[in-house]
Amino acid sequence: MRANQVPTEEIKREPAAFDDRVTADGRYGRTAEPGRYRLIINRACPWAHRVVITRRLMGLEDAVSLAVTDPKQEIIDGDPHWVFTEETGSPGGRDPVLGIHALREAYLAREPDYDGGVSVPGLVDVPSGHLVSNDYDRLALDMATEWDGLTREGAPDLYPETLRGEIEEIGEGVYQDVNNGVYRTGFAPDQEHYDQAVDRLFSRLDELEERLTGRRYLAGDHITMADIRLFVTLVRFDAAYHGHFKCNIRKLIEYPALWAYARDLFQTPGFGDTTRFDHIRVHYYWVHEGVNPTRIVARGPDPRQWLLPHGREALGGSPFGSGAAPGPVPEGERVPDLR
């Protein structure tokens, strides 16, 4: 969908166009090698954010380099594209490693006749410049489970075998009603579709509020992929989805447990230190002209609220289980301090 269009039917998310898997043993054809791959993201995108969080928690910053595109996108041949600009640290508007201006160039390097959509995240093979995968969920899962030998000492088990059934059951509901639910609400083509989507969204948030009232994390006693998947939508909720997408039955801050849970994660290394509220606001309010034709970018809410005490320690558990917190954010990847 073009940035200035209003949908005429309910939004449907397309499957990943490219989904090559990268593993330590190379059993799917591609081997995890330090410096071989570059992860192209946008700080505004929740689907990309879950991969960035996973990469940081697993300590893969040195193994997989990071490239950040401009939150405003650029219209090329009538369609919005993820591009590199001077404003986001790319001299001459080109990624300094891959030499490309638009992510689409990596798609076309892989498949010259490709005419589909372009999405972030995109994992790119540096030597060839070919896109390897834009399958955000598989990328995150593989980084969490299949990059043995490259992950840091003390990396958490984000996808414990004993909890995978529970994580996926929770994840399916979160994906349908929350992660994708905010988009189905914001891009609803008519009142009926909007009412259905917004009701499902807040019914699911009500269920999650109840679940998290008596437990610190969604599954088990430490952070798992279930928490990462939910966090990326929660952290954008009041800043973008509540106003811009009309997800306004309640704000996140009006849910006592969910709001405290989200702050708990935000204050955990890997979550808040990979979040840029300025990119989030600019992207959503600027790019979706069909929803916001004036392109006026909202200034609030004050992100410093995310630093308020959460009190979730009283529920037990620990963020990384038997593991440890990741080290400092690499110099070139730091986001603005909220203080």
Catalytic residue list contains 247: no
Question: Residue 56 and residue 335: Cα distance in Å, rounded?
Answer: 13
Last residue of a domain, one of 113, 145, 177: 145
Catalytic residue list contains 261: no
- Report, as an integer, the average pLDDT of 31-53: 98
Over residues 275-320, the pLDDT tens digits come to 999 999 999 999 999 999 999 999 999 999 999 999 999 999 999 9
Kindly state whether residues 237 and 319 are assigned to the same domain. Answer: yes
Is residue 49 assigned to a domain? yes
| 82 known member of a binding site | yes
Kindly state whether residues 113 and 178 are assigned to the same domain. Answer: no
- Report, as an integer, the average pLDDT of 64-74: 97
**Which amino acid belongs to residue 335?**
V
Coil, helix or strand at residue 75: strand
Question: Of the listed 45, 107, 217, 284, which one is catalytic?
Answer: 45
Kindly state whether residues 314 and 216 are assigned to the same domain. Answer: yes
Containing structural domain, residue 58? 22-145
CATH of the domain at 263: 1.20.1050.10
Kindly state whether residues 133 and 187 are assigned to the same domain. Answer: no
Is residue 124 assigned to a domain? yes
Which distant-in-sequence residues (6+ apart) come within 8 Å of 252 by Cβ?
Answer: 234, 237, 238, 242, 258, 259, 262
Kindly state whether residues 101 and 193 are assigned to the same domain. Answer: no
- For Cα atoms 121, 126, 132, give the angle at the middle one, nearest 5 degrees: 45
- In the predicted structure, residue 77 carries a pLDDT above the cut 90: no
Q: If you count them, how many residues does the chain have?
A: 339
Which pLDDT band, with edges at 50, 70 and 90, does 9 fall under? low
Over residues 162-210, the pLDDT tens digits come to 999 999 999 999 999 999 999 999 999 999 999 999 999 999 999 999 9
Is residue 241 assigned to a domain? yes
Is residue 202 assigned to a domain? yes
What is the count of structural domains for the chain?
2
pLDDT of residue 78: 81
Peptide bond connecting 160 to the previous residue in cis, omega within 30 degrees of 0: no
Question: Of the listed 37, 107, 183, 261, which one is catalytic?
Answer: 183
